């Protein structure tokens, strides 16, 4: 199953990188003579309410989804790793302050917090990526903190202290590399969550703004034409499902392969 997830992820990368060669049409090309055309050889996934080719828009939308997923997860990892490392390494009141802040952030429903921030800011792809990242670092902080608490008393850390290594060197050169396995798993699963969140925001009309193609805003067109254009809901919905499932399977496979208890 992990291999299947990896194949899905690799295919998405290839499609997003080669979008300009794979897509048969310009994703924003309007053709009023073919409005809401059914899937055919000319338009594999049909057309939308403006006559734009859905297959081409979905191919370009794959790149948008991956960009959002990776940038948002990168922001979350940077914040989570730094705060988790500080809390786990120094402990005491530093750990208490950071973890209480994490608890406060977890009290807010993440999606509604994102909605509130996006409602204040101008909806744009960069704002979405940053906001998703700023609201999804808490789990990574907890994971890194737990690893640091476990690792900071190991012999190799004590040896580094004995030869006079600084705290920064111990944290980033000795402990963090040994804690990256859980971070890698969390990052893989985080990309799937970020893609799902972006699709939901775009579906609500406050995510990626038209005419930029996104799986979420294609679904919005499908909602408005559900009775006469089923393909506008089916194909982007399947793309989101397969993408999120692929990343989840890959993340679980990485976790299982790195867990010595399963060997």
Cα within 13 Å of Cα(148), Cβ side: 26
Q: How far separated are the first and last CA of the chain, in Å rounded?
A: 17
Predicted pLDDT at 83:
92
Distance between alpha carbon 184 and the CA centroid of its chain, in Å? Answer: 13
pLDDT tens for 126-167 read: 888 888 888 889 989 999 998 888 888 888 888 888 888 888
Instruction: Write down the domain spans for the chain.
Output: 2-16+49-262
* Mean pLDDT per 10-residue section of the chain, whose length is 263 residues: 87 89 87 86 87 90 88 92 90 90 86 79 81 88 89 84 84 84 85 87 80 84 82 89 89 75 53
CA 86 to chain centre: 25
DSSP β-bridge partners for residue 47: 53
Instruction: Evaluate whether 66 touches 14 at the Cβ level (below 8 Å).
Output: no
State the pTM of this model.
Answer: 0.84
- Which residue has tokens 């867990």? 259
Whether cis (ω within 30° of 0) applies to the bond prior to 211 is yes
Contact predicate 217/210, CB 8 Å: yes
Task: Classify domain 2-16+49-262 by CATH number.
Answer: 1.10.3720.10
Nearest to 91 by CA among 146, 25, 30: 146
Check residue 167 and give its pLDDT.
81
Q: What is the dihedral of CA 193, 194, 196, 202, to 10 degrees?
A: 160
Of 86, 36, 1, which Cα lies nearest the Cα of 221? 36
Query: Taking a C-beta distance cutoff of 8 angstroms, is the pair 52, 30 a contact?
Result: yes
Nearest to 74, CA basis, from 164, 136, 13: 136
Contact criterion met (CB below 8 Å) for 201 and 118: yes
Residue tagged 């089916």 (tokens): 234
DSSP bridge partners of 53? 47
């Amino acid at each position: 199953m992990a291999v299947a997830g990896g194949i899905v992820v690799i295919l998405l990368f290839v499609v997003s990188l080669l979008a300009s060669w794979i897509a048969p049409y310009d994703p924003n090309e309007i053709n009023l003579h073919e409005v809401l055309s059914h899937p055919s050889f000319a338009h594999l996934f049909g057309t939308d309410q403006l006559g734009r080719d859905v297959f081409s828009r979905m191919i370009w939308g794959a790149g948008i989804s991956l960009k959002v997923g990776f940038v948002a997860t990168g922001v979350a990892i940077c914040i989570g790793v730094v705060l988790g490392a500080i809390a786990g390494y120094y402990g005491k009141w530093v750990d208490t302050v950071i973890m209480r802040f994490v608890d406060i952030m977890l009290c807010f429903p993440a999606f509604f917090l994102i909605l509130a921030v996006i409602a204040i800011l101008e909806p744009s792809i960069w704002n979405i990526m940053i906001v998703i990242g700023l609201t999804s670092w808490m789990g990574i902080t907890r994971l890194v903190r737990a690893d640091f608490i476990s690792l900071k008393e190991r012999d190799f850390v004590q040896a580094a202290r004995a030869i006079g290594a600084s705290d920064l060197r111990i944290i980033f050169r000795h402990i963090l590399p040994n804690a990256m396995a859980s971070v890698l798993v969390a990052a893989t699963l985080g990309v799937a969550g970020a893609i799902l969140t972006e699709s939901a925001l775009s579906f609500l009309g406050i995510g990626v703004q038209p005419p930029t193609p996104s799986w979420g805003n294609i679904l919005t067109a499908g909602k408005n034409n559900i009775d006469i254009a089923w393909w506008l809901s089916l194909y982007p919905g399947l793309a989101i499902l397969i993408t999120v499932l692929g990343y989840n399977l890959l993340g679980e496979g990485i976790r299982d392969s790195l867990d010595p208890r399963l060997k």
